[in-house]
Structure 1
Amino acid sequence: MSVVLSSQLLKLGSTFVSYNIATSILLPPISSNLQEYWLAGNGVFLRGARNGIHVCAHLCALNIPGLPKLEPYFNFTFPCVPPHLLSTMLELSVAAGQEEVLFYLAFTEGIWQLLIPDQIATEYSVTPTNPLDPFYESAIIEVHSHHQMEAEFSFTDDKEESGKFRLFAVLGEIFTSSTISVRVGIYNHFQVLPASKVFQLPPGITDANRFVL
């Protein structure tokens, strides 16, 4: 078990944040509803957990002699989203033309459910008209389209997706060679993931980050 040399617990609004120094590669179980920063021999890490998602993200690389090195991880306890749902989102995105489309995915009653919320869409952005939609609260994944643009998260995406702990995906180049980019957001930090960690990709959609480990 890890021995924590220094730990401080602060309350920031409704979010608890702890700051820790690792003295072992075996960290203690993550605390409920806790955002944990860990200083290790190879840098600063962020751990977080919510229903279905357990993640340890490597925020920055450092070389600190005497401390153990940690390994990042992403554990997704739900089954991957089936390919037909991703195909449906692609078809609806193509039908919307030059406007972006927003989708929510929630896992309820043992299956993935897809919802298109009421939204305000333009060529460069899409936002829900009711951010307090009950389905939004249960959503595990948010997906939006970027029509002919690449599947890359924009500055606007970063701003709109900050403050949330969930998975995000963007569909790009949907009229030609469709791609998808996936990341996990831990409040104000993001970690890019292989799409195969979250989705079963159908034919015609490739992972924009297929070389990410």
Structure 2
Amino acid sequence: MTELSTDLIGYKFVQQLPLPTHTSTGLEYLIGGNGIFARAIRPGLEVLMPIARTQPIKGLVTITPFVAIEPKVPEALLIEMWRRSCQACADPNNPLEILFHLLWVEEDWQLVVPEQEQGRFHCRPIRIDGDSSAVQAVLEVHSHHQMSAYFSSTDDADECHGFRIYGVFGKVRSIRPEMQFRVGLFGHFWQVPATLIFELSADVFVDDVTNRREDDDLISQ
């Protein structure tokens, strides 16, 4: 886990519901009867994610993890990212990855395609100052052109700083393109389905290949 000042981390035992008020400016760990969870809040996004399962702890209540995005991101922005991903790999001899940022601006979602370095196996923003989309983004998505949608070890290393949702597109020019999403919280990761992030129609053609454990009990708030 990325280093984070202990002044920004809180620790709470949960003996009753509703959950205690979030007071940390970074993240806080909640210890419940069914395990350890991490919680963080930022404009447009709140997450309570499982960190470790335990045998029942007497005297503490069961905690249910969730991802809350209000409002969800419009499907049109998802399709626009897929479209631009197709354009980035239009040359079969030189397919490029591409990076996207989604920002919460004036009560609305805004798609930004930052100025970036692009290659067959990488994409990275040029600007990383405090006012850049690289810092302000609530969601960060990149493409894997003809490869599957998965988070690589390079992605793990690049995405262990701060708090946001990460996504990846794969097989973008195929009949059934793929997508996968996860929450990144200062080095903790938790895969979540796209339906909790985007307003998706029943006939959306991008296949969500997110791996979910059945016992995660994930719900939206």
TM range (shorter): 0.7 to 0.9
- Root-mean-square deviation over aligned CA pairs: 2.2
Higher relative contact order (CA 8 A, sep 6+): 2
1:30-109 superposed matches below 5 A: 30-66=22-58, 67-77=60-70, 79-97=71-89, 98-109=95-106
Q: In terms of mean alpha carbon deviation, does 151-160 or 34-43 score higher?
A: 34-43
| Number of equivalences | 202
Work out the CA distance in 2 between the residues paired with 1:52 and 1:84. 18
CA distance in 2, matches of 1:64, 1:157: 34
1:209 to partner: Cα distance = 2.3
| TM-score, normalising length: structure 1 | 0.85
What is aligned with 1:170? 168
Give the whole-Å Cα distance in 1 for the aligned partners of 2:128 and 2:136: 12
Tell me if structure 2 keeps the 8 A contact 1:166–1:185. yes
Q: More strand by proportion, 1 or 2? A: 1
Q: Give the CA deviation at 1:170.
A: 0.8
Greater than 4 Å deviation, 4+ residue runs: 210-213
What residue is the counterpart of 2:194 in the other structure? 195
Between the aligned partners of 2:106 and 2:26, the Cα distance in structure 1 is: 27
8 A Cα contact 1:33 1:50, kept in partner: no
* 1:105–1:139 Cα contact (<8 Å) kept: yes
1:45 and 1:57 in contact (8 A); partners too: yes
Task: Supply the AA of the counterpart residue of 2:197.
Answer: V
Match of 2:85, SS state, is: helix
In the TM superposition, residue 65 of structure 1 has moved relative to its aligned partner by 3.5
Shift in Å at residue 32 of structure 1? 4.4
Give the Cα separation in 2 of the matches to 1:172 and 1:128.
Answer: 20
In structure 1, distance between residues paired with 2:188 and 2:36: 12
Instruction: Return 5+ residue gaps in structure 1 as ranges.
Output: 1-10
* 2:147 corresponding residue in structure 1: 149
Residue of 136, 139, 143 corresponding to 2:137: 139
The answer to whether structure 1 residue 17 and structure 2 residue 9 are counterparts is yes
Looking at structure 2, the residues matched to 115 and 41 of structure 1 have their Cα atoms a distance apart, in angstroms, of: 41
Distance 2:37 2:83 in 1: 38
Q: Secondary structure of 1:171's match?
A: strand
Query: Is the Cα–Cα contact under 8 Å of residues 127 and 134 in structure 2 kept in the other structure?
Result: no
The Cα of 1:15 is off from its aligned counterpart by: 5.9
TM-score of the superposed pair, with normalisation by structure 2: 0.82
Percent of aligned pairs with the same residue? Answer: 34
CA contact (8 A) 2:138 2:164 kept: yes
* Amino acid in the other structure paired with 2:112: L
The verdict on how the C-alpha distance between 1:158 and 1:144 changes in structure 2, with shifts beyond 3 A counting, is same
